Structure formats: C-alpha cells, structure tokens
Amino acid sequence: MRPGNLIQKTSLYIFAAMLLVFSGYPFLYMVSTSFKTMGEFFDNPFSIISGSLTLDQFASVFEMGLHTYFINSIIITVASVAIVVFVSALASYPLSRMKFRLNRPLFVLFLVGMMIPVHASLIPIFMMSNELGFYDTLFALLGPYVAFALPISIFIMTQFMSDIPVELEEAAKMDGAGHWKIFSKVILPNIKPAISTVVIYNFVHIWNEFVFALVLIQDKGNMTLPIGLQKFYGEFSVNVPGIMAALTLSSVPVILIFILAQEKVVKGLTSGSVKG
C-alpha cells in the first residue's frame, strides 16, 4: 500500500472513530442513566457505567402515564405515515409517468409546499380545528402531519418513478394491463427503496413533532410522547434518570423502523430502482 493511501485510510478511520464517539456517547449515556437511581446519578452524573441496573425508573414512568402517550404517538404516527405513503404514491404516478399540460406546474406546486413555514400555519390550523370540532383530539394532528409530509414524499417518489424504464410499462400495456394494474404490479414493486425512505423520514419527523401537538392538544389522555415528556419535569426538581428512561423507551420504535427499512434504502442508493 502506498504511503499516501495509508495516510488517507488512517485519517478516514480516525474520523469514523471520532464520529462514532460523538454520536454514540449521548445514546449510551441516555440508556445507562435510565438504569441508575437518583443517588447514583448525583454521585457520578456523566458516567455511562451503572452499578445497580435498577428498573425502578421504567416502572415509575409507566405509573405516570407513559403508556398512554406512547399509544397515542403510535396511532397518529402509523396512521399519518400510511396515508402519506398511499397518497404520495398515487400523486407521483401521473406526475412521473403521464404527459399532460399541467404536469410540471402541479409538480412545482407540490414543491412550493416544502417552503411553507410550519409556524405560519399554526393559527389557521388552530381555528380550523375548532370549527370542525377536532380540537383536542388526535384527528386534529392527522391533517397537519399528512399535509406537511406530502410535498417531500411526492418529490422523492416522483424521482424514483421517473427512473423506471418505460419498456416495463409498455410490456404491461401489451399484456392488457390498465393504469391501476401497472401502478400496483409494475411501479410499486420497483419503488420499494423510495417507500422505505418516505416511511423512515416521516416516521421520525412525526414521532418527534412538538409544535402542532402543543397547540392542538390539551387533554392529558390525548397527548403524544413529545408533549407527555414535559409531565416528567417536577416543579422544583427533575428526575433525570426517569426522563432518560422515558426517552429510551420512546426511541425504540424509531430504531426498529430504521433497522427494518434501512436495507431497502441503501439498496436503492447503490443499485437504483431497476430490478434485474
């Protein structure tokens, strides 16, 4: 190996190790602290080694209603992501595979939706939720979550669908397939990486969304995890190990969805959307 290549590889390994430390230490700190007692935390607050490994903090956060916030987040996140994937796939199909006069203007209009600031829509959405009777329910969150997730999702899926060879679609038409059959049997199987990307991106974003949940939800029984975690802060003290236990549990679904879908995302980045 040439000295220049050796130095380059060594530098990359050092950089990767530093990146691992900076990104991995906060996660390890969160998990290890969740197994500490308050006494152990105050004795050595920055240590990632726990002596007792107690589960008391996990039991206490469930007693304070974490399961309710967890279930609410699961319901609204899964429902929102499912609607976003379905609607964005249907919208991306004509935008990418059909030629008509308003094709590009409609696509640009969807992209403009990515530029709308979330905070600029809080008051109109709050008033609309009141008018429709959805305020302080999970339905109040469904509309904003889906609406703000659609532009980027349509953009991602449209780009993937545009790369699918036209020959596949023409072969399906020769076999007598209509638009719906082409969409379900040809297009969807070839955009699995795009679907995985949309699922991961929107799941993480909606799972951690705070602003809309803060404005549109007041009842404790309807709160999602980001809002419910505020309830673990006391008036005069903060149970840090308890908060870390709640954060550890709340990160589990995001980690699982990433592990399950990351393979298709990486495959899409390396091999494209054409299946041989």
In the chain, where are the structural domains located?
Answer: 1-54, 61-271
Q: What is the pLDDT along the chain (276 residues), one digit of tens a residue?
A: 566 677 778 888 898 888 888 888 888 888 888 888 888 888 888 777 766 778 888 888 888 888 899 999 999 999 999 999 999 999 998 888 888 888 888 888 888 888 888 888 899 999 999 998 899 999 999 999 999 999 999 999 998 888 888 888 888 888 887 888 888 888 888 888 889 889 988 999 999 999 999 999 988 889 999 888 887 776 456 778 888 888 898 888 888 888 887 776 666 555 444 443
List of residues 6+ apart from 198 with CB closer than 8 A: 81, 84, 85, 88, 153, 156, 157
Fold of 61-271: MetI-like fold (1.10.3720)
List of residues 6+ apart from 91 with CB closer than 8 A: 110, 150, 154
DSSP states along 182-223: HIIIIIHHHTHHHHHHHHHHHHHHHHT--HHHHHH--SGGG-
Output the pLDDT for position 39: 82
- Alpha-carbon distances of 205 from 81, 167, 194, 211, 233, rounded to whole Å: 10, 36, 17, 12, 23
pTM of the model: 0.83
